[in-house]
Structure 1
Amino acid sequence: MRLNGIDERLERQQYPATTSEIIAAHGNASVELAEGSERLGDILTRMGEETFERPDDVFTAIRSGVCARGVGRRFYSDRDPDALGEQGPEPVSF
């Protein structure tokens, strides 16, 4: 995900700020996703009304709220447990 300069704009935003205030100021900005892009306003609207205390709070909301095109391989996990009948790796003692 690329913020295309949104991060710099959000750093200059006056805080605390509500979701509505951020959408009014920056909602048309585009976030580049793994497959396409999405408007910042659409992402934040999906998250509901909040009051953000600092830019990092907005960045967390953006990461949490992107649509399925922004997550790469959906439902992929390299931390799934072994399937039934499958032997896992040998335990290692340190």
Structure 2
Amino acid sequence: MRLTAAIEQFETHEYPATTEELIEAYGDTELVLPNGTESLGEVLGRLGNETFESATDAHMAAYGAVSSKGIGRKYYSDRDPVGPGEDGPDPLSL
């Protein structure tokens, strides 16, 4: 399941809710990420023991806890110039 669809499940949960409650309810959901998979339980487990006042709070925290598997192309930016004397990443043609 894509991350956005998985996190939308939080909308039906009753708040306030703890990380533990969300893991119990949704932790088995498998996330399909650009560079692999992980469970929503793994993502939420990185947050420690928190209490969320709303689904929006839980959404934002979960987005911030996704591993590097959720990054499309690591270190890629078309906005950051390479500084003088620095070697930037090799160009990649798509």
Q: CA RMSD in A?
A: 2.0
- TM-score where L is the length of structure 1: 0.76
Residue 31 (1) aligns with residue 12 (2): no
Identity across matched positions, percent: 46
Tell me what 1:41 maps to: 41
Tell me what 1:51 maps to: 51
* Count of equivalent residues: 85
Alignment-mate amino acid for residue 20 of structure 1: E
C-alpha distance in structure 1 between counterparts of 2:75 and 2:35, whole Å = 16
Tell me what 1:17 maps to: 17
Alignment-mate amino acid for residue 27 of structure 1: G
Residue 33 to residue 53, structure 1, CA distance change in 2 (3 Å): same
SS at match of 1:43: helix
- TM-score where L is the length of structure 2: 0.76
SS at match of 1:60: helix
* Structure 1 residue 57: Cα displacement: 1.3
Give per-residue Cα distances to partners, 1:23-79, cap 9 Å, x unaligned.
011111112211222100100111211111111111112211111111111222233
Structure 2: gaps (5+ residues): 86-94
